[in-house]
């Protein structure tokens, strides 16, 4: 990121600026380090400004290593979120550690490791709720059951 773009994004952290300027320090401490099990190459980013462009995301996250893909949310439910997929797991860890809480366009980024089992639980709960509604509607139409107890 050039400093002009960096300031346009509204970054206020001097620590982050120092990390962004020094690219060689990112490679240090990489060998012989064990990573926690939740660390992976895919980052889930929340609280993104709606006005941020894909190019700015590539500039911001690309500082920490080679990026395979960035998927930015564009629907009403997914706006302000993105998935950032790195080529290397260590680059993803560095980016997550450095950019979590980073100030961009009057927002603080929330950078998490993507955990598919947690995402699947949310999907499963919504599917179960849909099935329950279908069953209620079926019971209502077939048997005239409203689901509410009548008091006399």
The Cα–Cα gap between 79 and 73 comes to 5
Cα–Cα distances (Å) from 5 to 11, 143, 144, 151, in that order, read 9, 64, 63, 67
Percent of the chain with pLDDT over 90: 43
Q: What is the model's pLDDT at position 120? A: 63
Q: Is the pTM of this model over 0.85?
A: no
pLDDT in tens, 105-133: 999 999 999 988 776 666 677 778 888 88
pLDDT in tens, 82-102: 999 999 999 999 999 999 999
- Among residues 86, 93, 110, 85, the alpha carbon closest in space to that of 28 is found at 93
pLDDT at residue 48 tops 80: yes
Q: What is the model's pLDDT at position 32? A: 55
Q: What is the model's pLDDT at position 130? A: 83
pLDDT at residue 142 tops 80: no
Place of tokens 């960096």: 6
The Cα–Cα gap between 127 and 137 comes to 15
Which string of b and e fits 100-119 if b means at least 16 CB within 10 Å?
eebebeebebbbebbeeeee
């Amino acid at each position: 990121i050039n400093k002009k773009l960096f300031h346009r994004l509204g970054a206020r952290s001097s620590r982050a600026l120092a990390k962004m300027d020094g690219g060689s320090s990112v490679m240090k401490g990489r060998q012989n380090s064990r990573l926690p099990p939740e660390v992976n190459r895919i980052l889930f980013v929340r609280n993104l400004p709606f006005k941020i462009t894909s190019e700015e995301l590539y500039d911001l996250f690309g500082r920490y290593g080679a990026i395979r893909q960035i998927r930015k949310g564009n629907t009403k439910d997914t706006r302000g979120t993105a998935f950032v997929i790195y080529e290397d797991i260590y680059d993803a860890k560095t980016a997550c550690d450095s950019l979590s809480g980073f100030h961009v366009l009057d927002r603080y980024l929330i950078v998490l490791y993507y955990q598919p089992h947690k995402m699947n639980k949310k999907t499963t709960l919504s599917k179960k709720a849909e099935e329950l509604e279908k069953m209620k509607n079926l019971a209502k139409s077939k048997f005239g059951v409203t689901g509410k107890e009548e008091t006399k």
